[in-house]
Each structure stands twice: as C-alpha cells, then as structure tokens.
C-alpha cells in the first residue's frame, strides 16, 4: 500500500458564497456557545467555521427550566434563545473568536423584522465572515419561526436583510414545514447567499409518573441522531430546488454522517447536539472526512457535494 | 491522553476575556475504570472510578461534579453526578447516585473493571476560604448527601473549622453515615421517624438546638428553600448546591440555568449557569 501512504492530503477547502473555509465542518448554532467553552476541548483553529449561538438586539432571558430533556437517540431543548444581546456579544464573544484562524458566522435572532435588521446593521463593520439568520427557532413565542414557515414572509425578510447586510447571508430553515423545497426557493428568491438546514423538529416529552410535561415550555426542538434521516432527506430536496450552497446539519455524530450530508447536496456540514456527547467531535469529523477522501482516492471534498447517484 | 484535550496556543487569551473562578480545573472527557461498585441502600449505588495513569486532575473541590456517560448509544447526554470522595493517591473518584431512570440504571449495572466515560471535573464547588475557621452546618437531603462527605473531609482538614452534619433520609435505609461520622458530629432525620428526628433536616436542627456560623446544603428544592429561610433567620450565610436538567455540562447550551437576584455578569440577564457558575451558589444570590 505504498501509494496510500504517499498520496497527498486531499483538499478540504470549501467556498460558501465567496468565503473560503479551510474545511466544511462548522458548529451548529446554539450547541457551541461562542466557542469559548469548547475551546478547552477543541482547537478552534482547526474548524471550518464557528457558528455562534443566536444573538438579538437586546439581552433575552430565555425560557423557564427545565429547558432540556433527553429522548431516545436525541434530545429536546427549549432554551428560548437566551443571549446577552449584541453589545456584550461584540465586546466579549466576537473579541474572543477573532483570535482564532477560523471563519466566524454569527447567528442572528429577533422577534420582529426591525430587531433582525438592527443586529445585522450592528454587525456590518465587525469581524464577521457570514450571517446566519435564525428564522426557524421553534421555542420563542413571537417572531422567529413565523418568518420561516411562510414562503412570502421568508422571501420578504431575506430581501430586507440582504439590502443592508455587509456579509453573505445564510437563511437557516426550519424542518417544521410541509415542503422544504418551497422554503428553500423562497430564501433564494429573496437573495440569500446560502441556506442552512435543518433546525430542530418540534417535539414533546411527557413524564408519565407525574403526568406532566417534562419541558417548562411543553414543546421543544428535537435534535441528535434521531433526526438525521429527516435532515438528510430535506437537504437533498433543497439541493434539487436551489442553486445556492447548502449547509447541512441534523444529528451529525461522525465523519460518515457528515459525508452523507455532503452527498445529499450540502457544501458544508455542522455538528450540533452531539457536541454534548463528545466535546471533541468537531475535530474528529474533520479528521475522519479527510481519511474518507483518502480511502476513496478523492482529491477534493467539494467533489462530494450532491454526488449521490 | 488519546482523545483528550491538550492545551493549545490561543486558549490562554480566554483568561483575559472571560476570567473564571480559580477552582475550575481543565475539563476533559476521560475513559475511567470502575474499581468498585456496590449498593448502599435501596436504589442507591456507590461507584468508584479510577483515572488512567497520569491523567488525574491536580485538584478536586467539594461540591464539584462530573458527567457520567451511560454505556448505551441511545443515550447521548452525560449524567451530572456530584463527587462524594476524591482520593488523590489512588486517582479515584467516588460517586454515590440514585437510580432515577434507564441512564443511571446502566451505570449501576457496571462491573469492576468496566470502562465509563466521564466528563470532568465540572462546576464550582464550595468556597473553603469562606468556611475556614467556622462552625459549619452541613445539611444533606437524600441524594444531596454524597457531596457532603467530601466537604466534611475537607473542612475537617482545616484547623479551627468544625463540622456539624445533619442528614435527612426517607427511612432507616441510611447511607454514608459512617463516612460522615469520621469528620464531625452527625445527626439524622428520617421522614418516617425510624431513625433520629422524625421530619426533615431542619426539624433535627431545631430539635437539637444546633447553631453554626455558616450552612452548606444539598438536597431537593423545598429543602433548599427552607434552608435559605433558616439561614436568613439565623443571620448566617448559606451556600446551596442546585440541580437542574443538563445537556452539555460545560456552559455552552444554557440548558441548566437558575434565576439570579441581580443581572448576572456572564449572561447579562437574571440567569446563571448551574453547571458553570454553580452548582454551589450563595443562597442570597439566587431566586429559588
């Protein structure tokens, strides 16, 4: 196996809307904070991008507890987008992230159009590579998901954000819709530079002994390996519908899962809830994807995108 | 060290932007070896886990915890379990836990020699500096008792500190009483009155006229609320260990928060992370 040993390392770089990432592995918003906590486990310099937890124009308290529950092969969460607000985020979290040689993607949330636009505007001159717009959180009472479940609203808010955004815009889509391709097309029509999917699937857990909802919010977003087949299917459907790049996520637990998302049509992948299971997972996915490419004698990771037959 | 984090350039800057409490050691996920597993009472298990050679932390503080992963691929999240004893010489941690569901049941089913993945050491423990030289009342209720053993041992090693332990059990299936007696006076309360005072830990405190300069408590929320009120009446500080459903255990997911009285310096809202700022809080700083 001499050839195997001496074969040059595959090209892991990917390009999303003009931004070159050293590899296609990112973190899924909300599962990695702003990277600070996991920087004890993973060298952030090795990741394609860090996608931050959603940030709003002002601090949000989030939902009452319990906010999380484990379910078979996954978990439910209803954090309610607790965040310290854009001022603290820029001063503390962005200052921390810019020390690393990785791309920074800021997830933006809001209750109203004005709130989204305010955050986008505030980030215009900050060291941010891309914006990911969370129009898909199932856990906040108003805003968020409403924009993501109506194609007209989604196209409209995408267009408004695009008019003022200085960075490429990724619209993060919810799977809680009848036809994901309609939503993908709406984002593209609004001028989105990329889409990411899937956000969590709305779920529920009941404690049968106490006859009570486990989460204080009653419903929560399901994530983890339990949702991966749904996510792969939706990434594939979206890839059939639009030309803009797709960032695929939903239950990625290994490099093999990441490859599966790429084959379905994703240009990059994000590791989410499984960071909680294995805080080293992002790095393992990067390494494992590289090994997969070498094993299959594939020169560049970009060849995987949409390569399912 | 395979699979474990190593310090890398870039990390140290974190200290500048986000100073953490001094007692928070480097966190890592480690494959531990079960060196002892036994049942202490109905549904209560003691498990000792040993670090691989050279992997043990320099310091473990009473009140800190670790996340233990069930050996079951359908269960993703570590179970937050408080540290009952830390034996630095052998590199062993003792955990005493109640079987509350399938995850803890799978931990209880481990055998000596089995491997258990552990995320640790997590959280901030009791501030021994604030307890040194004081008469400290240790209150433990049910599965809140185990961390009190490490705390009693630590306080016992500080000259001038005095441990007064009062532990509450459901009934006569007691556990960890011998260990606690080694480090100070022990009073017992049982819900059914079969041993010691009938009632809860505060009933036993009042019945015996126990006085102290500070209270440290771990137990169910109604008990902690009563402890907070008791300490206010006595005009003494209370340090309480809180529990909440957790996911990441390292402060990233914001799953396990508690309401704080003032806007918290990390969250910038009235929330603090139990896994990171806690689990031990000054009772006056949290709304419970």
CATH class belonging to B11-122:
mainly beta
Domain B128-241 has CATH 3.40.50.80: yes
Closest-CA distance, A185 to chain B, in angstroms, reads 31
In this structure, are residues B108 and B188 in contact, taking their beta carbons and an 8 Å threshold?
Answer: no
Say yes or no for a CB contact (<8 Å) between A36 and B26: no
Write out chain B residues lying below 8 Å of A75, CB-based.
76-77, 247
Catalytic residue among A25, A131, A135, A137: A137
pLDDT at position A144 is 63
A201: exposed, middle or buried (Cβ count in 10 Å: 0-12, 13-18, 19+): buried
For the stretch A58-94, pLDDT in tens is 999 999 999 999 999 999 999 999 999 999 999 999 9
pLDDT at position A143 is 58
pLDDT at position A136 is 76
A45: exposed, middle or buried (Cβ count in 10 Å: 0-12, 13-18, 19+): middle
In the stretch 73-132 of chain A, residues with CB closer than 8 A to chain B read 73-75, 77, 79, 82, 84-85, 88, 92, 95-96, 99-100
Does the active-site annotation cover A153? no
For the stretch B1-38, pLDDT in tens is 333 333 333 333 333 333 344 445 689 999 999 999 99
- Please check whether residue A277 lies inside any domain of the structure: yes
Average pLDDT score over chain B: 92
Looking at the 3D structure of chain A, how many domains does it have? 1
With CA atoms as reference, report the closest residue to B276 among B261, B264, B263: B264
Report the residue from A61, A79, A88 with minimal CB separation from B253: A79
Beta bridge partners of A51: A105
Whole-model pTM: value is 0.93
Domain ranges of chain B: 11-122, 128-241
In the stretch 6-45 of chain A, residues with CB closer than 8 A to chain B read 30-33, 36-45
User: Residue ranges of chain A with pLDDT lower than 70?
Assistant: 1-7, 137-144
Write out chain A residues lying below 8 Å of B78, CB-based.
276-277
- Please check whether residue A132 lies inside any domain of the structure: yes
Say yes or no for a CB contact (<8 Å) between A224 and B119: no
- Please check whether residue A207 lies inside any domain of the structure: no
pLDDT at position B4 is 37
The domain of A111 spans 2-62+84-202+225-304
CATH of the domain at A120: 3.20.20.70
Around Cβ A68, how many Cβ atoms within 10 Å?
25
For the stretch B38-51, pLDDT in tens is 999 999 999 999 99
Query: Is it the case that residue B176 has pLDDT exceeding 80?
Result: yes
Report the residue from A32, A43, A85 with minimal CB separation from B8: A43
Say yes or no for a CB contact (<8 Å) between A85 and B268: yes
For the stretch B103-159, pLDDT in tens is 999 999 999 999 999 999 999 999 999 999 999 999 999 999 999 999 999 999 999
Beta strands in chain B, from DSSP E residues, in sequence order: 28-41, 44-50, 65-68, 79-87, 92-98, 115-122, 135-141, 162-169, 185-190, 197-198, 214-218, 238-241, 257-260, 271-273, 280-282, 286-287
Q: How far is CA A50 from the centre of its chain?
A: 9
pLDDT at position B151 is 98
In this structure, are residues A104 and A128 in contact, taking their beta carbons and an 8 Å threshold?
Answer: yes
Write out chain B residues lying below 8 Å of A69, CB-based.
245
In the stretch 236-295 of chain A, residues with CB closer than 8 A to chain B read 273-280
Looking from the CA of A185 toward its CB, the CA atoms found within 13 Å total 8
A117 token code pair: 């636009």
């Amino acid at each position: 196996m001499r050839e195997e040993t001496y074969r040059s390392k595959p090209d892991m770089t990917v390009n999303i809307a003009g931004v070159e990432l050293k590899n296609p592995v990112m973190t899924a918003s909300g599962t990695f904070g702003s990277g600070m906590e996991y920087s004890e486990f993973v060298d952030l310099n090795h990741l394609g991008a860090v996608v931050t937890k959603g940030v709003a124009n002002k601090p949000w308290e989030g939902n009452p507890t319990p906010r999380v529950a484990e379910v078979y092969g996954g978990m439910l969460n209803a954090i309610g987008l607790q965040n310290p607000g854009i001022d603290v985020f820029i001063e503390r979290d962005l200052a921390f992230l810019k020390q690393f040689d990785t791309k920074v993607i800021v997830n933006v949330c809001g209750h109203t159009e004005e709130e989204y636009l305010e955050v986008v505007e505030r980030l215009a001159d900050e060291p941010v590579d891309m914006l990911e717009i969370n129009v898909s959180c199932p856990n906040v009472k108003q805003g968020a998901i409403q924009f993501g479940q109506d194609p007209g609203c989604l196209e409209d808010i995408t267009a408004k954000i695009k008019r003022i955004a200085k960075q490429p815009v990724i619209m993060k889509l919810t799977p809680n819709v009848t036809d994901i391709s309609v939503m993908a097309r709406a984002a593209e029509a609004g001028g989105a530079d990329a889409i990411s999917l899937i956000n969590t699937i709305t779920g529920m857990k009941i404690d049968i002994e106490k006859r009570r909802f486990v989460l204080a919010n009653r419903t929560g977003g399901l994530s983890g390996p339990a949702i991966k087949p749904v996510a792969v299917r939706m990434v594939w459907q979206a890839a059939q519908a639009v030309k803009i790049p797709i960032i695929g996520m939903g239950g990625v637990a290994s490099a093999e899962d990441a490859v599966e998302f790429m084959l379905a049509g994703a240009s990059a992948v994000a590791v989410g809830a499984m960071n909680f299971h294995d805080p080293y997972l992002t790095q393992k996915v990067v390494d494992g994807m590289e090994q997969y490419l070498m094993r299959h004698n594939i020169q560049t990771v970009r060849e995987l995108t949409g390569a399912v037959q | 060290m395979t699979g474990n984090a190593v310090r890398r350039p870039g990390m140290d800057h974190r200290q500048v932007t986000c100073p953490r409490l001094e007692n928070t050691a480097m966190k890592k996920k480690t494959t531990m070896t079960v060196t002892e597993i036994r049942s202490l009472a109905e549904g209560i298990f003691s498990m000792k886990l040993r670090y691989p050679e050279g992997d043990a932390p320099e310091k473990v503080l009473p009140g800190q915890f670790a996340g233990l992963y069930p050996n079951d691929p359908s269960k993703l999240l570590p179970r937050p379990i408080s540290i009952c004893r830390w034996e630095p010489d052998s590199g062993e941690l003792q955990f005493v836990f109640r079987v509350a569901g399938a995850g803890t049941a799978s931990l209880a089913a481990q055998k000596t020699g089995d491997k258990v993945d552990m995320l640790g050491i997590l959280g901030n423990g009791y501030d021994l500096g604030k307890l040194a030289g004081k008469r400290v009342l240790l209150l433990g209720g049910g599965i809140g008792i185990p961390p009190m053993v490490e705390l009693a041992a630590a306080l016992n090693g500080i000259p001038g500190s005095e441990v007064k332990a009062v532990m509450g059990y459901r009934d006569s299936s007691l556990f960890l009483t011998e260990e606690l007696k080694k480090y100070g006076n022990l009073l017992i309360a049982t819900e059914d009155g079969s041993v010691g005072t009938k009632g809860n830990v505060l009933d036993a405190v009042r019945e015996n006229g126990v006085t102290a300069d500070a209270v440290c408590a771990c137990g169910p929320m109604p008990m902690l609320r009563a402890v907070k009120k008791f300490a206010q009446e006595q005009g003494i500080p209370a340090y309480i260990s809180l529990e909440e459903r957790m996911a990441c255990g390292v402060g990233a997911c914001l799953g396990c928060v508690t309401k704080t009285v003032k806007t918290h310096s990390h969250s910038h809202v009235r929330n603090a992370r139990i896994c990171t700022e806690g689990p031990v809080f000054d009772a006056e700083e949290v709304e419970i």
